Structure 1
Amino acid sequence: MSPELALTELRRALEVALWVGGPLLVTMLVVGVVVGIVQAATQINEPTIAFISKAVAMTAALFALGSFLLAYLVDYTTTLFQRIPHLIG
């Protein structure tokens, strides 16, 4: 396997990781900022509120996007397994 091919495969793997993890991370970021602003405005500094709201948002995001993210990951894995003979030989 040439270095260019290895870098291409690594790039594809990183793109898949960003596509799968990105929406969940953005959800957590938005919820964290909103809860932080609300806590700063009301001066209620309870860490449980932030944790519970992030857990609920993550669960909702997984229910909404889980099938899409899993299908994307399975498609990438299937394609990678099909290309193994071409990568080795």
Structure 2
Amino acid sequence: MYLWLESDKTSCLILQRQLAKYVQRLDEDEEEKSSKQKRGILPKQATQVMKSWLFQHIVHPYPTEDEKRQIASQTNLTLLQVNNWFINARRRILQ
């Protein structure tokens, strides 16, 4: 006689659990977003050094690993920042 009531309670519990999991995922996503580093603007002097290298080597704009390390130490940037700058610069040139 009250079977439909039991199934409604079960459905409600299932929905509550799903909602709780969803809210937890939203909270985790928000924490992850806030812990990510923000986009940084490179120092003007550093970009000038890299632009200069790029225009001197416009025919083959691919610095060697040694050249990248040298540019990184000269500009006080990380090797990753130098790599990314050259990747983005080449992409912009081709557009």
TM-score after normalising by structure 1: 0.30
Structure with the bigger percentage of helix = 1
Q: Which has the higher contact order (CA 8 A, sep 6+)?
A: 1
TM-score after normalising by structure 2: 0.29
